Structure 1
């Protein structure tokens, strides 16, 4: 569970930059073994590029594929200690890179849309379950109950999944927990989805003066035509690296504590944030 907002100033800035990668690729529908192999290859590519962390799209291990997952969750979702994750774990051990992989997860009879953080020793170091489910996802999955902050090399990285990013409160909760970056795997489609990602993510960055990382699908998955365009934004809301719309690609950017400090000095919204509960009550009285 994240800490109270009053504690947000207790976490110092990192002491050195970190390189983060966003991976976009075509997921093979329901083929967890093939998708894990593809993810492992991109972990190694990220490691060669000097990245300490690479994030993958939402439910990349199976593809989005709600009908497959609902029909046979044992086959199309993963569980604790699932050997199909071994190729990714091995790639993380070889490269010293952390992978945040999107997956459907079955846990004690329930299904979740999750981000699995696999550490540099190949172990599962964190699991975040999507808190804001989209439309028909409510029929299949349970909502997550808590946010998740991943710590790496002095950086605090708040995890999100797709529709989470449409709610300013989600990224704000990460920022109030001292996060320096908001890291999201997603499925955004052509058309309105592309408009949403180009609107939501720069706003999440600037509102919270934090880096934002998005990994999106390409191709068709679960009936959606994905728009690619994975991007890493700086804490001022400006893009630092952008992928294309329709081909596999790994993008990287260096997150720099000096740049973070500079933006936070010039854009003090997070520092000046008022108690929103008190403000809401005052608004109600005025109304």
Structure 2
């Protein structure tokens, strides 16, 4: 049986953690009903892509905000990737993170390595993260601008990734270009 892996295409409310958390839970429930084993949300899905608000909305990896999401992921035995500005000790700005809520209840973190021009004012670059294993398949994560650099998916393939899952926010103006890049990597 093939693994069901899905991307959540959703409308996020700017800065509204409560509403966005409820929306994530609804998406997770629906994906679980469909037998999903991996669900990936867009970049900064819990807060919205709001760089000027990021510092105030940043969460630590031990944030209680993740508790209901972790419980749902564990209950559904489904790995779920959610986006949030991540507060990291020793850094003056948050990192753009894809928090990985695993089906066993554990939490992993992937941090965006390559920032778009202007993002460095609000965010620090990250270091990436480990490959995920979903039903014996190696999955590499990326967040938005990471995939715009051909070396990123190439390095994922060299590390053994069979699937390249990207958490992105793509506007109408960039859709054609970004889709072509991703299709080329596939």
Q: TM-score range by the shorter chain?
A: over 0.9
* Aligned-partner Cα distance in 1 for 2:74–2:179: 34
Where do 1:125-274 residues align within 5 Å?
Answer: 126-191=108-173, 193-205=174-186
* Aligned-partner Cα distance in 2 for 1:23–1:203: 22
Provide structure 1 residue ranges, at least 5 long, that are not aligned to the other structure: 1-15, 206-287
Q: Which moved more, 1:143-152 or 1:51-60?
A: 143-152
Asked if the contact 1:59/1:103 (under 8 Å) is kept, the reply is: yes
Rg comparison, structure with higher value: 1
* Aligned-partner Cα distance in 1 for 2:40–2:81: 5
Which residue number in structure 2 is paired with residue 25 of structure 1? 10
Shift, 1:109, TM fit: 4.3
Asked if the contact 1:37/1:88 (under 8 Å) is kept, the reply is: no
Q: How far does the alpha carbon of each residue in 1:55-86 deviate from its partner, in whole angstroms, 9 at most, with x for none? A: 0000001000011114x2xxx11112111112
Asked if the contact 1:37/1:87 (under 8 Å) is kept, the reply is: no
Which residue number in structure 2 is paired with residue 117 of structure 1? 100
Asked if the contact 1:41/1:91 (under 8 Å) is kept, the reply is: no
Secondary structure of 2:99's partner? Answer: strand
* Aligned-partner Cα distance in 2 for 1:164–1:146: 9
CA root-mean-square deviation? 1.3
* Aligned-partner Cα distance in 2 for 1:50–1:130: 28
Secondary structure of 1:134's partner? Answer: coil
Q: How far does the alpha carbon of each residue in 1:18-48 deviate from its partner, in whole angstroms, 9 at most, with x for none? A: 1101101111111122212211111111111
Asked if the contact 1:33/1:84 (under 8 Å) is kept, the reply is: no
Secondary structure of 1:93's partner? Answer: helix
1:45 to 27, 30, 33: 30
TM-score by length of 2: 0.94
Asked if the contact 1:162/1:184 (under 8 Å) is kept, the reply is: yes
Report 1 or 2 for greater relative contact order, CA contacts < 8 Å, sequence distance ≥ 6. 1
TM-score by length of 1: 0.62
* Aligned-partner Cα distance in 1 for 2:129–2:159: 10
* Aligned-partner Cα distance in 2 for 1:195–1:92: 33
* Aligned-partner Cα distance in 2 for 1:51–1:156: 16
Provide structure 2 residue ranges, at least 5 long, that are not aligned to the other structure: none
